A and B are shown apart, each in its own frame.
Chain A
Amino acid sequence: MSVFEPGSIVEERKDFIHTKGRQKKSLKCDSDSIAGCVSQRACVYCGARVVLNPVTDAVHLVHGPIGCASYTWDIRGSLSSGSELYRNSFSTDLQEEDVIFGGEKKLTAAIDQLVEKYPTKLVFVYATCIVGVIGDDLEAVCKNASLRHGIEVIPVESSGFIGNKAAGYRAACHALLRLINSGVNQDNNKVEKIPMSVNYLGDFNLAGEAWIIQNYLHPLGIKVNTNFTGDSTYRSLKDAPKASLNIIQCAGSMAFLAKEMEEMFGIPYMNISFLGVEDTSGSLLRIAEFFNSHKAVKAAEELINREEEIVKPLIEGYRREFQGKKAAVYVGGGFKAISLIKQFREIGIEVVMVGTQTGRPEEYETISDMVEEGTVVLDDANPTELEKFMMEKEAHLLVGGVKERPLAYKLGIAFIDHNHDRKHPLSGFAGAVNFAGEVYSTLCSPVWKYLK
């Protein structure tokens, strides 16, 4: 039977979907959504904002009409060990006359006002769609403000329509690089590296996840130099070139930054994943091995043994409850999807549908290699497709973000938030247990009994 029934999938969408074992392996992705579809995707600004927002002591000023700022007010759930400035919502609140006459004056005044009120060394100014169209010269406004106040005022070129979320990740990385590179006679290439230190890229410290990883690396004698960007600050970001290695958790948002930093500061990088026991253990070992330190490797092995001994029986307990259960995955990036497939395998659940908003071709290939025959893989899916395949594949559980939650519930399917709204850390050994626990509490809730 084909997965396509007449009328259920729009013709243009067919290349974005495939079923393992049935068709050619390559999947169309990386292209624009089709006009008139209900897409779960967001915009460039959204991508840039999610990456930069965890910079805790920055003023994040959204240059545009009010909506763009109010929807992103503190929705990230990134925790801070210091400043809480990033949790405010600052907007230039553009009005009709600004759209007609340009918003530069207003932006200038807004920056001055905010800088006066909040002590900060760093202002990010985000461009929204409208700013791209009315043609405000953000560059010039920011530069002048920078000079006037003697702080960094960095424009983020994130007009929503110039691409999708992935383009926003890149815009954010550009802004971060600018921050790292600017300032008084910095020759970052000559910066002395701190031995046994890493920058941890692509962890936004949701529910304190970055802290968990720091605590794992510490006993290995490895120092986390800078976190990108969870719980980061102006100062810590400036220090980034001092690291000897970049480790990347969220490749979707940070691969670009890592490549650039390798070129600029000679920092090698490595993709790692701290989702699930298998990935966490493997990643810790690989990081330790990178430093060629017998001591670090040994410490890693000890830590892994100790932690695995604690968590494996717990996970095994859950595993028994999950027999015969099937999961569907719909998340932002391909890398997370890959980790989740592994993690589900650990807890004995088969993944029958995998989709992402912004997965890259090579990631889809990996996914395709990993999953069982018959699994549906899809890019930029809409709710109708999600429903269709979850029902067809008889999924019991969906992993997704805010918009997918009620969809799953309406279908009588359990749900796990693997996005900004998550409340418990899902990283590391502790996170692996939390994950299994969350799966258990939703999958095995008595509530499903009342459906009929």
Chain B
Amino acid sequence: MLDSTPKEMIQRKVGLINPAKTCQPIGAMYAALGIYRCLPHSHGSQGCCSYHRSHLTRHFRDPIMASSSSFTEGASVFGGGANLKTSIKNVFEIYDPDIMAVHTTCLTETIGDDIPSILSTAEVPEGKRVIYASTPSYVGSHITGFSNMTTGMVNCLVEPGEKEKKEQVNVLPGFVNPGDMREIKRMLKELGIKFIMFPDTTGVVDSPMTGRYQMFPRGGARVKDIQDSGSSKFTIALGFFASSEAAFLLDRKCSVPPVVLRTPVGIKATDEFLMTLRNRFIQDIPYELEEERGQLVDIMTDTHFHFHGRKVALFGDPDMLTAMTEFLLSLGMIPAYVLTGSPGALFEKEINTMLKAAGVEGKVRAAGDLFELHQWIKNGPVDLLIGNTYGKYIARAEDIPFVRLGFPVMDRSVHSYLPVVGYRGAMRLIEMISGALLDRADRDAAEEDFELVM
């Protein structure tokens, strides 16, 4: 289907062709699902909410609930205050969540609905909470939306706590799958460190089958824990784009110092994550984690010749790409093209620095689209493509092996349960990448070159 993408590079000034990002509210919705008994609420027309739920449903294969202000023409002329207030009343009456997380849409932002002031006069039942984030999609991307809602949690829930800090760490995992959040929590538990993680979508979008439908499954960060995050010793924000804003705000509000780290994908970023914790808490790294690291290095040694010098094109969300680029370099691969749909000059700078340090030539782009990536590949072929489901079009058109990673992945299952973070996640990534490369080698091998052991 993408056979029509021309090879000669075309200069474009406006618009996107085959986007590598989507809009803020879906990120906000996902973040909100990471609070226990929280109903995300989309303040806008029904369409957005419906699309966001469908998209998340396709990726997670779990029911994704969110209510909508169900805008009509009247609301868009007279403002959506009344709709939002009715929504709050109805949501608590019908669905009875503990907390409602309101995000805006392009429409409500454009007509200028002022959410804080609407909320200040809304009737919220005793003991219930309403938090909010501003998420116009003509700014940023779904990652910005995720970041904004995480920041909204700090903004609306956390109060300046005691001066005396507790021996605990806040961990903001960023826009990753519940499988990744589980793995991050497991590492923290292995270390024996007390932590507060938010948002935490484990148990919400990967909830178990019980034969009963629960609108609010058991998972998610507890409101009281989020509130308590102001008393933590420090905050680890995993991923600059998705997590740092909230961490900075926590610092401003409650003097909890932030440490911004890469999403712990690959050996180096995982090392950094664990070392930061070890150093701050003067902890030993438990043998279990050391063993895993040793296994990972063992695997990397066993397989390094599969990877060395292979060219990769990768696209997706900025935090994941930064970590992935680092990991691919550690495998001896060449991240030839790295493209995100999210805007951010910092992204380009960071990746370029990494590539330069490794002596690798590569093209890097923020706020790009898949048309552009495809053109690059046409002009300089790669051995492997890594990205979300939409990459399959390019992979097919150019006949390149393809590894699905990131959001959304809508044509495969299980991915959201299994981690790519930590040492174990790195093992899984290696399996995925070498599987794709070696399957291709098998497929392409001439009869006389077809080998049993590879």
Partners in one complex: yes
- A interface residues, Cβ below 8 angstroms from B: 7, 10, 32-46, 61, 64-74, 84-85, 87-96, 98-99, 106, 109-110, 113-114, 117-118, 128-130, 132-134, 160-164, 383-384, 387, 402-403, 405-407, 409-412, 451-452
Closest residue of chain B to A105, judged by CB? B14
| Cβ–Cβ < 8 Å partners of B213 in chain A | 383, 387, 407, 410-411
Q: Does B324 contact A (CB under 8 A)?
A: no
Nearest-CB residue, chain A, relative to B390: A73
Stretch touching chain A among B82-90, B154-162, B246-254, B255-263: B82-90
B22 within 8 A of A: yes
Question: Binary interface profile of B, 49-85, with partner A (CB < 8 Å = 1, else 0)?
Answer: 1111111011001111111111111011000000110
Q: Of the 9-residue stretches B40-48, B181-189, B191-199, B357-365, which lies at the interface with chain A?
A: B40-48
Q: Given A45-B47, A387-B213 in contact, is the A65-B23 Cβ separation under 8 Å?
A: yes
Q: Which of B4, B51, B95 contacts A84 (CB 8 A)?
A: B4
* CB-based contact A69/B107 at 8 Å: no
Assess whether B224 is interfacial by the CB under 8 Å rule. no
Cross-chain pairs A/B with CB under 8 angstroms, 11 sampled: A32-B72, A37-B90, A42-B46, A67-B52, A72-B51, A89-B18, A95-B138, A99-B136, A114-B17, A129-B71, A403-B54
**Interface bracket on B:** 35 or more
Question: Which B residues lie within 8 Å of A134 (CB)?
Answer: 110
How far in angstroms is the closest Cβ of chain A from B390? 7
Q: Is the CB of B46 within 8 A of A65?
A: no
User: In the complex the two chains form, is B19's CB within 8 Å of A160's CB?
Assistant: no
A133-B95 contact given A36-B90, A110-B14, A113-B15, CB 8 Å threshold: no
Is B212 located at the chain interface by the 8 A CB criterion? yes
Q: Is the CB of B50 within 8 A of A39?
A: yes
Q: Which residues from B are CB-within-8-Å of A45?
A: 47
Q: What residues of B have a CB within 8 angstroms of the CB of A118 in the complex?
A: 4
Task: Give the distance to chain A from B368, nearest Cβ to Cβ, in Å.
Answer: 11
Whether B70 contacts A384 by the Cβ 8 Å rule is no
Task: Indicate whether B93 reaches chain A with its CB closer than 8 angstroms.
Answer: yes
Q: A34–B55 Cα gap in the complex (Å)?
A: 23
Q: 6 extra interchain contacts, Cβ-Cβ under 8 A, other than A35-B83, A67-B137, A161-B107? A: A37-B94, A45-B47, A65-B137, A71-B52, A410-B212, A411-B213
Residues of chain B within 8 A of A130, CB atoms compared: 106-107, 110, 138
Residues of B within 8 A of A160 (CB): 45-48, 71, 107
Distance between Cα atoms of A7 and B96 in the complex (Å): 10
Q: How far is the CA of A330 from the CA of B217 in the complex (A)?
A: 24
With both beta carbons as reference points, the residue of chain A lying nearest to B77 in the complex is identified as: A133
Query: Smallest Cβ distance from B447 to chain A, in angstroms?
Result: 35
Chain B residues 116 to 147 lying within 8 A of chain A, measured CB to CB, are 136-139, 141
Q: Is B6 at the interface (CB under 8 A from chain A)?
A: yes
Among residues of A, the one whose C-beta sits closest to the C-beta of B69 is: A35
B445 within 8 A of A: no
The answer to whether B15 touches A106 (Cβ under 8 A) is: yes
Question: In the complex, what residues of A have CB within 8 A of residue B209's CB?
Answer: 409-410, 412, 451
B380 within 8 A of A: no
Closest to B18 in A: A89
Point out the residue from A46, A74, A85, A406 that lies within 8 Å of B4, measured CB to CB: A85
Asked if B22 contacts A10 (CB within 8 A), the reply is no
Q: Are A10 and B94 in contact (CB under 8 A)?
A: yes
Q: A33-B70, A36-B91, A113-B12 given as contacts; is B63 within 8 A of A44 (CB)?
A: no
Q: Are B67 and A38 in contact (CB under 8 A)?
A: yes
Cα of A90 to Cα of B86 in the assembled complex, Å: 36
B111 within 8 A of A: yes
Q: Is B244 an interface residue (CB 8 A)?
A: no
| B105 at interface, CB cutoff 8 A | yes
Asked if B446 is at the interface of the complex by the 8 Å CB criterion, the answer is no
In the bound complex, residues from chain A placing their C-beta under 8 Å from that of B139 are 95-96
Which of the residues B46, B64, B84, B94 comes within 8 Å of A41, measured between beta carbons?
Answer: B46
Question: Do B138 and A99 have beta carbons less than 8 Å apart?
Answer: yes
| A331 to B2 Cα, complex, angstroms | 32
Contact A113 B13 (CB under 8 A): yes
Chain A contacts for B68, CB-based, 8 A? 33, 35-39
| Cα-based distance from A345 to B24 in the complex (angstroms) | 45
Bound-complex Cα distance A61 to B17 (A):
9
List residues 5-46 of chain B with CB under 8 A from any CB of chain A.
Answer: 6, 10, 12-19, 21-26, 41, 44-46
B211 touches A452 (CB 8 A): yes
